Amino acid sequence: MPATIRDVARASGVHISTVSRTFSAPHLVNPETRSRVLACADDLGYRPNRAARALITGRTHNIGLIIADIANPFFPPLIKAAESQARQRDYHVFVADTNEDPAAEEELVHALAKQVDGVLLCSPRMSNSLIEQLSREVPLVVINRQVAGLPAVVMDVGQGARLAIDHLLGLGHRDIALLSGPRGSWTSREIRRAAAAAVRAGGGDLTVLGPNLPTETGGTALAEQVRRCGATAVLAYNDLMAIGLMEGLHDLGLRVPGDVSVVGIDDITLSRLTRPKLTTVATPTAAAGRTAVDMLLQHDSPAATRNLRGGGRSSAGDDRRTTAQVMLQTELVIRDSTGPGPRAGRTDGAAGVEHPGPHCPAGPGSPAVATGEVVAS
């Protein structure tokens, strides 16, 4: 039913290749012919079939974005940033949700492989070796995970966890619980590692609870365990769990931060709307989305388009993709869910016990704005 290039050619009395050129290289066709063709095309409601075009050019101008869980408010800012960045480069983004299911991830990469020029794999739950294998099928950029040999952008959650723990220690907490994230999460491992080290260094005690579903429900379900383990402060894998935990503690009759302090990670919008407002580690999600798109599209510089005209050979040498790994800084945002612990006052190092304000920059001397930093190339 929809018009094809042949219909337009027939209607405008030119060869199909002229019609083709009218759309893909307009400057190569006589202005008069061009406008005639355009008129006919418009008339017939013709639009080039991108899939057919891709078959021969090898470029779809689409990019895939695979997300563990669209319902997690952590992701939308990343998705939107990726989309707007892609749009600027004349690409479209197709998002797909895996429901935290590793099998669905693999399945989706395969499904997307031939319909996109590359895929952004966000917070994957599958194994490194599988990711590596899939990367041979379609260009991949991994987000929130480091895989040897693959371009990646991660947030420095290790640093974030450290800041959070130091904040807690500084407030006089000694018994700290960590609500870990889902099995297979790189982020969760990094947090755990950093938190353990920081607690040890501060002479405290860390209880790890998990792995868990990174949702409110997951957090709520842990309230009882948190009480039993005797922790006076908790660091959660993400804000959702932290918020769920606060609910659960509330139902148990425990006060936040009176009885237990809670820190989240991500700084989702919601964390500013709870009562008490959540202290959390802000991660630069939008920047991550933008950066990932740029890394995926780095070889497709606007220059390539310019090079098409004239006999100048297009630079074939820069096809080599540099597989950089970018790490984005995080910062601690202190709000109302953290307060003095049992050893408050006895504190001898660390930061002051009083809240420095609603939006305090990370560690001493660290920049207030999260910036990208190339770690390896």
Partner DNA sequence: GTGAAAGCGCTAACAC
Partner DNA sequence: GTGTTAGCGCTTTCAC
- Name the site residues for a copy of itself (rule: CB under 8 A): 1-2, 45, 47, 49-52, 54-55, 60, 62, 70-71, 73, 76-77, 79-80, 83-84, 92-97, 99, 108, 110-115, 136-137, 216, 243, 247, 269-270, 273-275
Q: How far is CA 21 from the centre of its chain?
A: 38
Q: How far is the CB of 136 from a copy of itself (least distance, A)?
A: 7
Considering the complex, state which of residue 116 and residue 154 has its C-beta at the smaller distance from DNA. 116
Measured from the Cβ of residue 331, the count of other Cβ atoms closer than 10 Å reads 24
One-letter amino acid of 259: D
CB of 138 vs a copy of itself, minimal distance in Å: 8
Minimum CB distance to a copy of itself smaller for 107 or for 224: 107
Residue 348 interaction partner, one of DNA, a copy of itself, none, beta carbon < 5-8 Å per kind:
none
Question: Which of 150, 326, 92, 90 has its CA nearest to residue 79?
Answer: 92
Residue 207 interacting entry, from a copy of itself, DNA, none, C-beta within 5 to 8 Å by type: none
Q: Which of 236, 299, 327 is nearest to 89 (CA)?
A: 299
Q: How many CA within 13 A on the CB side of residue 107?
A: 9
C-beta of 305 vs 322, nearer to DNA: 305
Is the distance from CB of 155 to CB of 185 less than 8 angstroms? no
**Residue with smaller CB distance to DNA, 15 or 275:** 15
Alpha-carbon distance of 299 to 246, in angstroms, equals 46
Q: Which does 350 bind (CB under 5 to 8 A by kind): a copy of itself, DNA, none?
A: none
Tell me how far apart the alpha carbons of residues 188 and 227 are, in angstroms, rounded to a whole number. 22
Min dist CB 179 to a copy of itself, Å, is: 17
- DSSP, res 66: E
Provide, rounded to whole angstroms, the least separation between the CB of residue 317 and DNA. 17
57 binds, among a copy of itself, DNA, none (CB under 5 to 8 A by kind): DNA
136 binds, among a copy of itself, DNA, none (CB under 5 to 8 A by kind): a copy of itself
Q: Which is nearer to DNA, 46 or 186 (CB)?
A: 46
Contacts 24+ apart (CB under 8 A), 191-196: 191/157, 191/158, 191/160, 191/161, 191/235, 191/237, 191/265, 193/158, 194/157, 194/158, 194/159, 194/160, 194/161, 194/162, 194/165, 195/161, 195/162, 195/164, 195/165, 195/235
Q: Minimum Å distance from CB 115 to a copy of itself? A: 6
Q: Give the shortest CB-41-to-a copy of itself separation in angstroms.
A: 13
Q: How far, in Å, CA of 200 to CA of 363, rounded?
A: 19
Site residues (vs DNA, CB under 7 A): 4-6, 13-18, 20-21, 23-25, 28-30, 32-34, 46-49, 52-53, 55-57
For the chain, where are the alpha helices, taking DSSP H only? 5-12, 16-24, 31-44, 50-57, 75-88, 102-113, 128-134, 157-170, 186-201, 216-220, 223-229, 239-251, 285-296, 302-306
Tell me which of a copy of itself, DNA, none is bound by residue 307, counting a contact when its beta carbon lies within the kind-specific cut-off of 5 to 8 angstroms: none
**Cβ proximity of 162 and 194 under 8 Å:** yes
Q: Which of 85, 95, 97 is nearest to 119 (CA)?
A: 95
6 binds, among a copy of itself, DNA, none (CB under 5 to 8 A by kind): DNA
φ, ψ for residue 374 (rounded to 5)?
Answer: -75, 125
Residue closer to DNA (CB basis): 60 or 280 = 60
DSSP annotation of 117: S
Q: How far is the CB of 63 from DNA (least distance, A)?
A: 19
**Which residues contact residue 31 at a Cβ distance below 8 angstroms, ignoring those fewer than 6 apart?**
none
Our CB check for a copy of itself shows the closer of 7 and 156 to be: 7
In whole angstroms, how close is the CB of 38 to DNA at the nearest point?
A: 12
Residue with Cβ nearer a copy of itself (136 or 313): 136
Residue 23 interacting entry, from DNA, a copy of itself, none, C-beta within 5 to 8 Å by type: DNA
Q: Which does 186 bind (CB under 5 to 8 A by kind): DNA, a copy of itself, none?
A: none
